[in-house]
Structure 1
Amino acid sequence: MQYAIFDLDNTILDFDRAETASLTAVFQNHGVPNIPQAEDDYQAYNETIWRQIEQGGPRDTLLDQRFEVFLATLGIIVDGPSVQQEYDQLLAHSYQVIPGARDLLHTLKDAGMTLLVGTNGIKHTQLSRLAGAHMTPYFDHIFISESVGYAKPNPHFFQAIHAQYPEMTTTNTVMVGDSLRSDIAGAANVQLPSVWYNPQHLPNESAIKPTYTVDNFTQLQKLLLTA
């Protein structure tokens, strides 16, 4: 393997911790009662939003409306874009890295691999989080759906990466990520091998089949350096 495309959230950066802290702050600021329950309900709703985005839905509109629509179910009226901006700013300053990720990237970089980011996140948020976590130097290029114009698993997302790195092939490149629906399915759509990073040992009850599955970075490092 010469090229590794890494998802960011819950693959390199600890999105769960960052999201919980940011949501809690937003909900406190807007008087949400029973915040733990609200966070659970929001997660279920937000999952539907990202499914629509991954299927080609209007990304900016969906994100700008999500807090307005969700908080309205709790009887709280807000300006959607303003609360989305508030949330983005909080998330952009959340720099939690998954333990072991830094050592993994350092080792792969020293071994001569070209490391790329391929994420569906929001551009300024992802760039801020990477910079704040001091992770940017590990990556040769950062591909974000907002800039690319397409979200994983759309083949056009991966074609944009290939356009920048025409030496990539289906035998020297791998996609690494935690999401079957976007990372693994996206790789399959362009015949790239994939590694499903699954530290929680979640069952795969879908028709999406990763090439490899690992549950820790030691396994991932060995796989990438010997595959």
Structure 2
Amino acid sequence: MPLLLLDLDNTLLDRAGAFRVWGQEFLNSISAPYDDIDWLISVDADGLTDRWDLADAIRDRYQLRMSVVDLVEELHDGVVAHSRLDPLVACSLRIAKDAGWVPVVVTNGAVRQQEAKIRRTGLDRYVADWVISEAAGVSKPNPRIFALAAQSVRMRLRGAWMVGDSPEADIGGAAATGLPSVWLHRGRSWLDDRYAPTRQASGVIPAVAAVLAG
């Protein structure tokens, strides 16, 4: 049985959409200008900005009396609360499992938030296991985290595929590990000449189809 390694944010779950919904609600709650959502999304940088730095930026911009700790909690809980599992994504995972693949989530991030997303959305019912960088002590693109994912389900990496949206963390990590990969381009062009994905797809559903066909 081959191993199917999958990124979480903006792959299995629409993290960008969840952040936008939370962000707009939060800005409304502090009476910020409606258009400030563009600033917030820009500073967030698709989740790459450290949560503490993002909280500091929000506090400074709006002169909030809320503590940084409370604001970080608000960020974590808000994104989790608005995360949803697309039924078609769940269906594609079920099809992959029926075809003999073993889906395992490999994600960077904090255990509390990432595991809450997986469990709250019901994603845990469709994957064999998950590895979160904070708990693993290593993050993508380090090949070690992919090895830990394989170990978590007592499998070898040979024959595995990686699916994700991050050029460096997911595709670079797969390349460093010697794995084929599918990049979710999300409307972007591939620019890195150090390595390249085996396939490109517009979303996780066609990505899983490409893996099964490949």
Partner of 1:12: 12
* 1:93 equivalent in structure 2: 81
Q: How does 1:175-194 map to 2 (within 5 A)?
A: 175-194=162-181
Using the alignment, how far apart are the partners of 1:7 and 1:182 within structure 2?
9
Change (3 A) 1:195 1:36: same
CA distance in 2, matches of 1:116, 1:5: 5
Following TM superposition, by how much is the alpha carbon of 1:122 offset from its aligned partner in structure 2, in angstroms?
Answer: 2.8
Matches within 5 A, 1:1-227: 2-29=2-29, 31=30, 33-37=32-36, 39-47=37-45, 50=48, 62-98=50-86, 100-165=88-153, 167-170=155-158, 172-198=159-185, 200-207=186-193, 208-217=195-204, 219-227=206-214
Unmatched tracts of structure 2, length 5 or more: none
Partner of 1:57: none
Alignment gaps of 5+ in structure 1: 52-61
Give distance in 2, aligned partners of 1:82 and 1:156.
33
Tell me which moved more, 133-142 or 150-159. 150-159
**Letter in structure 2 aligned against 1:185:** G
Aligned-residue offset at 1:48? 9.0
Count of equivalent residues? 213
Query: Measured at CA, do residues 160 and 221 of structure 1 come closer, stay the same or move farther in structure 2, by a change above 3 Å?
Result: closer
CA RMSD of aligned residues (A): 2.4
In structure 2, C-alpha distance between the alignment counterparts of 1:106 and 1:159, rounded to whole Å: 23
C-alpha displacement of 1:103:
1.3
- Alpha-carbon distance between aligned partners in 2 of 1:9 and 1:49, rounded to the nearest angstrom: 9
| Cα deviation digits, residues 70-113 of structure 1 (max 9, x gap) | 43034445421210101211222223224621110010111121
**SS of the residue aligned with 1:143?**
strand
Q: TM-score, normalised by structure 2?
A: 0.86
Q: Could you tell me how far 1:128 is from its partner in structure 2?
A: 2.3
Identity of aligned residues (%): 23
Q: Is the 8 A contact 2:59 2:68 kept in 1?
A: no
TM-aligned CA distance change 1:165 to 1:102, over 3 Å: closer
* Residue of structure 2 equivalent to 1:58: none
TM-score using structure 1 length? 0.82
| Contact 1:49/1:66 (8 A) holds in 2 | no
Alpha carbons 2:11, 2:165 under 8 Å: kept? yes
C-alpha deviation, 1:129, in angstroms: 2.3
In the TM superposition, what whole-angstrom CA distance separates every residue of 1:181-203 from its partner, at most 9, and x where no partner exists? 211111112121111123x3321
Describe the shift of the 1:163–1:106 C-alpha distance in structure 2 as closer, same or farther (beyond 3 A).
Answer: closer
